[in-house]
Structure formats: structure tokens, C-alpha cells
Amino acid sequence: MNSDWISCLKTNPVTTLLSSGDIALSLYTQRDLLDNGGQDVTILRGLPEVRLLTRKQKPDGSWGNNGKLNPSVPGENYVLLETYRNLRVLIHVYGLTRDCREIENAANYIFCLQTPQGDIRGIIGNQYMPYYHGAILELLIHAGYADDPRVVKGLDWLLSMRQDDGGWIVPTQAIPSKLRTDEFWSGTPVEPDRSLPHSHMATGMAIRAFAAHPGYRSRHEIITAGHCLKSRLLHTDKYNDRRGENYWLKFQYPYWWTSLVSALDVLSLIGFSRDDPDINRGILWFIENQQADGLWPTAYDKGCLAHKNRLWVGLAVCRVLRRLFS
């Protein structure tokens, strides 16, 4: 076992992770941090938590319903948002893949929302959503759809939506709020103004799809996007959505928004090392802010799932540190 990453920390976090009582967390800790390759992820498919989630899946492969009140935008496909929310857990926590009927059905539902141009659309009305598009493709790739022509088409569409600096924005971010009427959200998608600087919130979500795909992660376009992302670590965004520096330190697992741990994860996957000054700055934050039990604050310290989230974030941080110190 490579223990260099542990020696840089004040406390060994593996002890806390193994004593959590969470079967899935313990399995991944053994496999990913202790090199116990005999761990069979498929045993997680029979857990009660998996049955609870899959029991709520609709016949068309989706989750959620259309009766949600106060949509974030008119015409929002709340069902797609809920499908994304649940797939994150089934794929990243419980290891389900396309050989499971539930994942195949969910993938087919998502692909039904792919336009002829290649983008998946709906969470923000009829407007382009490169950030959610990338995050959804990342899930499908992890589930075994990397070579599916629909995924490849989606990746190529995402590449075509980059800014001049190599990152991504959500095109609607550049539209004044007073112009975002009900008709705007359901109207013709706004093309991005390529001259504007990227949004690290959008870039950090979009790039996940490429980091997950072995055929794309080393492409020069992705390395350029990585430079965009790392240059903004712990800085404010250029746009109002999740603008403040504090959003870098709001940690969730499975990942949703761009955070310091999710950014270091993708950057390490596409080839950046701890010798890079920006990457090292991110590593130092985790070294300096490790808590007594070996884990890290998440900024989500309330609610029944806060403790579980903190444990899984701890595993995510350890995976990243181990990769960067290998």
C-alpha cells in the first residue's frame, strides 16, 4: 500500500472510515485505500438502501413527478433532476452499472431527452445546460456507457460549447435576470458568448464527463479546460451562481456542484500532479483543515444525512490524495 498520502496528514482517516458501520463505505475503503482487490461491489446491489431507491423508480426509468411546486425555472424537467439525483447514489455509492435493469431503464429515459445536436436538455427549461449535461454523462460513463454512440455524441457536443478560454459557462448566466422571462426559458436556446470568461462552477461539472472517459481525458482541449479550473481554486466565480469562495468548501458526495474536492478529483484524473502550485494549494487546505477524527468539515452539518455525507466526503478526499501522492 502506498502510504505517502497518509504520512502527510495529522491523523490516519482510514481508521474512522473502517469503523463507520457503513457496508458500502467499508468496501470501497478496503478496495481503494488498502489495495484489497477482492472486494465485490455487486454485493451492494442487495442492500435495503438500494431496494428503497429502485422501488421509487417509474416504469419509464425516471424518478420524481411533475407535481413539484415552485420550479426553479418555467418548464423545468423536475423528473430529469430527480433522476440525476438518484443515479448519483446508485452508481457512485452502490456501484450499479448498465447490467442492472434499473440503470438501463434510467439511461434510456435520459437518452430520450437528447436532442439531435447531442445535448441533454430540460433541467433549465429549453435552454442549454452544459454543466448538468457533463455531470449526467459522467454518471453514464461510470455505469458502462463510455462507448455508446449517444454518449460520444454528447461529449462532442460539449466540446463544441467551450468558451474561447477553454472552459464552459451556462449560456443563460450572461443574460440579465430581467430578461429571463417565462418565454425566455421555453424559447430558443441562447448560444454562449464565447468571448466571456468561463465559469468555474460550470467548468468543474462539465469536465467530469471527460475525466471519466479514458478516450477523452488526455485530449488537449480537456487539459486546457483543466488549466482554467485549477487557476480558480478557492477564488470567486465570474458569475452570480455559487459565486463566493465559500462554495469551494461545501462538500457533497456523490458530487453535485463544483467544490475543492471534486475539482482536485478531476484534475488528478486528467494528469495534473501535486507539483503544480494550484493543485498543491488545494492539497494544503485539506492538510491544514483535517479534524481530530481524520475527516474534514463539509459545511453541511445539519440534517439526518450530514454524518453520512461527511464520511463519504472523507473517502473522496482520501482517494484524491492517494492518487496525487502515487
pLDDT at 71 > cutoff 90: no
For the segment 65-89, the average pLDDT, to the nearest whole number, is 88
The predicted pLDDT at position 69 comes to 67
Residue-averaged pLDDT of the chain: 96
- How far apart CA 89 and CA 71 sit, in angstroms, is 23
Give the pLDDT confidence of 3-56 residue by residue, as tens digits: 789 999 999 999 999 999 999 999 999 999 998 877 799 999 999 999 999 999
Q: Return d(Cα 65, Cα 81) in angstroms, integer.
A: 10
Q: Please report, for the chain, the start and end positions of each structural domain, with discontinuous segments joined by +.
A: 42-250
Which CATH number is 42-250's, of 2.60.40.10, 1.50.10.20, 2.40.50.140, 3.40.50.720?
A: 1.50.10.20
b/e burial code for range 183-203 (CB count within 10 A of at least 16 → b): ebbeeebbebeeebebbbbbb
Residue 80's pLDDT band, with cuts at 50, 70 and 90, is very high
> 248-295 pLDDT, tens per residue?
999 999 999 999 999 999 999 999 999 999 999 999 999 999 999 999
Cα 286 from Cα 8, distance rounded (Å): 10
- pLDDT at res. 109: 98
CB atoms within 10 A of CB 277: 8
Residues in CB range of 112: below 8 A, 6 or more apart = none
pLDDT at 272: 98
Chain mean position to CA 56: 23
Quote the pTM value. 0.96
Single-letter amino acid code for the residue at 157: W
